[in-house]
Chains A and B, each alone.
Chain A
Amino acid sequence: MYSAEAKSLANEQVPEPAKQRPRSDRWETFPPSWLSHHGGACCELAREWVIAMDFAQLGGADRASGPRWLRQKYKWGPSPWPMHWCEVVKRDTIDCGAHSALAHAAFTARGLTALPVQLVQSYSLDAADQWRGSWQAEGVSCHWLDGDHIYHEATGLLTGTDELRIWDGSAGSWVNPRQGSGYGSLVALRVFSDGEGGPLELGWGEQRVQVNSWNQLRR
Chain B
Amino acid sequence: MKIIVSGLYSGGNPQPGVGIVRSLRLGFPSATLVGVEYSTRVSGIHWGELDELWIQRPWDELDLDAYGDKVRGILAGGAFWISGSDLEAMWLATLYPEGHPNLLAPPAAALGRIAKPAVEAHRGLPVEVPVFVSTDLPDWDLHAFCRQHNWRVWLKGPYYDAARTPSWDSFVAVRNALTKVWSTDRLFLQAHVSGYEESVMLAAYQGELLGCVSMRKRDITPEGKTWAGDVSGVDPAFEAPLREMVRAINWTGGGEVEMIRDAAGKLWLLEMNPRFPAWVHGATITGHNLPALLVQAAAGVAARTAEPQGSEFTRVVLEVPVRPDYPLPALPEPFAGAIGHSMKHPSGLTMLAQRLHAAVPNGIVIEDGASDDNGAPTVPQTVLADVAAHDFAAMATPQFLFLESTAEDLFKRASDRARRLSDNQVQVASGYSIKTNPDERLIRLALEHGFMAEAISLLEVQTALQVGFRPDQVILNGPGKWWPEGLMLRERMHAVFCDSVADLDRCVAAIGAGKMSSRHVGVRLRTPNVVSRFGIPLDSPGTFGTLIESIGRLPQDTAFGVHFHMASSNIGVAQWWHLFESMLKWCSSIERLGGRRIEILDMGGGWFPDDWHSAENSRFDQAVERVKEVLPGVRQIVSEPGKAMAQPSMAVAMRILEIQEHEDQSVEAVVDGSIAELPMFAFQPHRILRQCGTSGELQPLGRGKVHLMGRLCMEHDIVAANVALPDGTQAGDLLIFCDAGGYDRSMSYVFGRG
Chain A: residues with CB nearer than 8 A to chain B?
41, 44-46, 48-49, 51-53, 55-66, 86, 89-90, 159, 176, 178-179
Closest A residue to B593 by beta carbon equals: A45
Inter-chain contact A176/B593, CB cutoff 8 Å? no
Beta-carbon contact of B541 and A89 below 8 Å: yes
| Closest CB in chain B relative to A6 CB, distance in Å | 26
- B585 with A59: CB separation less than 8 A: no
On whether A55 and B263 interact (CB within 8 A), knowing A46-B541, A60-B574, A89-B541, the answer reads: no
Given contacts A45-B548, A53-B528, whether A58 and B578 have CB atoms under 8 Å apart is yes
Neighbour of A64 across the interface among B150, B263, B545, B586, CB < 8 A: B263
A56 contact set on B, CB distance < 8 A: 527-529, 538, 579, 582, 585-586
Min distance, Cβ B534 to any Cβ of chain A, angstroms: 16
* Interface contacts beyond A48-B593, A49-B589, A178-B232: sample of 17 additional A-B pairs, CB < 8 Å, sorted by A: A41-B593, A44-B592, A48-B544, A49-B544, A52-B528, A52-B538, A53-B528, A55-B581, A56-B529, A56-B579, A57-B528, A58-B578, A60-B150, A62-B264, A63-B263, A89-B540, A178-B311
Residues in B547-593 with C-beta less than 8 Å from chain A: 548, 574-575, 577-579, 581-582, 585-586, 589, 592-593
Give the residues from 120 to 155 in chain B that come closer than 8 angstroms, CB to CB, to chain A.
Answer: 150
Residues of chain B touching chain A, judged by Cβ–Cβ distance below 8 Å, are: 150, 194, 230, 232, 262-265, 311, 527-529, 538, 540-542, 544-545, 548, 574-575, 577-579, 581-582, 585-586, 589, 592-593
**Are A178 and B230 touching (Cβ within 8 A)?**
yes
Q: Is the CB of A44 within 8 A of B263?
A: no
Q: Say which residue of A45, A49, A64, A90 sits within 8 Å of B264 (CB atoms).
A: A64
List the A side residues contacting B529 at CB < 8 Å: 56-57, 59
Task: Please give me the residue from chain A that is nearest to B582 by CB atom.
Answer: A56
| Cβ A60 vs Cβ B578 within 8 A | yes
Which residues does chain B contribute within 8 Å of A52, judged by CB atoms?
528, 538, 582, 585-586, 589
Number of A-B contacts (CB under 8 A): 73
A48, chain B: closest CB distance, angstroms: 4
Whether B230 and A176, one on each chain, are in contact in the complex, defined by CB atoms closer than 8 angstroms, is yes
Closest to A85 in B: B541
User: Could you tell me the distance in whole angstroms from the C-beta of B126 to the nearest C-beta in chain A?
Assistant: 15
Contacts of A44 in B (CB 8 A): 592-593
Pair B263/A45 contact, Cβ less than 8 Å: no
In Å, the complex CA distance between A3 and B460 comes to 57
Which residues of A are found within 8 Å of B586, using beta-carbon distances? 52, 56
Residues of B within 8 A of A53 (CB): 528, 538
B569 to chain A, nearest CB (A): 16
Q: Which B residues touch A65, using CB under 8 A?
A: 194, 263
Whole-angstrom CA separation of A41 from B540 in the bound complex: 16
Cβ–Cβ < 8 Å partners of B545 in chain A: 45
Q: Which residues of B contact A58 (CB under 8 A)?
A: 578, 582
Given A52-B589, A55-B585, are A62 and B262 also a contact pair (CB < 8 Å)? Answer: yes
**Are A48 and B592 in touch, CB under 8 angstroms?**
yes
Of A46, A48, A60, A176, the most chain B CB neighbours within 10 A belong to A60
Note all chain B residues with C-beta closer than 8 A to A178.
230, 232, 311
**A48 B589 Cβ-Cβ under 8 A:** yes
Is B544 a contact of A45 with CB atoms below 8 Å? yes
Q: Kindly state the separation between the CA atoms of A32 and B251 in the bound complex, as whole angstroms.
A: 53
Contacts of B262 in A (CB 8 A): 62
Rounded to whole Å, the gap between the CB of A118 and the closest CB of chain B is 24
Going nearest first, the 3 A-B pairs with the smallest beta carbon separation are A62-B263, A60-B578, A48-B589
Which of A46, A56, A64, A159 has the most C-beta atoms of chain B within 10 angstroms of its own C-beta?
A: A56
Chain A nearest CB from B603 CB (Å) reads: 15
CB distance from A32 to the nearest CB of B (A): 24
Task: Enumerate 10 A-B pairs (CB-CB under 8 Å) in ascending A order.
Answer: A44-B592, A45-B544, A49-B538, A49-B540, A53-B538, A56-B586, A86-B541, A89-B540, A178-B230, A179-B230
A41 and B578 alpha carbons, distance in the complex (Å) = 28
Which A residues are CB-close (under 8 A) to B578?
A: 58-60
Cα A65 to Cα B582 in complex, Å, equals 16
Q: Report chain B residues within 8 Å CB of A90.
A: 541-542
Which B residues are CB-close (under 8 A) to A176? 230
B595 CB, nearest partner CB in chain A, Å: 10
In the complex, what distance in Å separates the CA atom of A53 from the CA atom of B263? 19
User: Could you tell me the distance in whole angstroms from the C-beta of B721 to the nearest C-beta in chain A?
Assistant: 32
Instruction: Give Cα A178–Cα B311 distance, bound, in whole angstroms.
Output: 9
Contacting residues, chain B, for A86 (C-beta < 8 A): 541
Contacts of B541 in A (CB 8 A): 45-46, 49, 86, 89-90
Minimum C-beta distance from A103 to chain B (A): 14
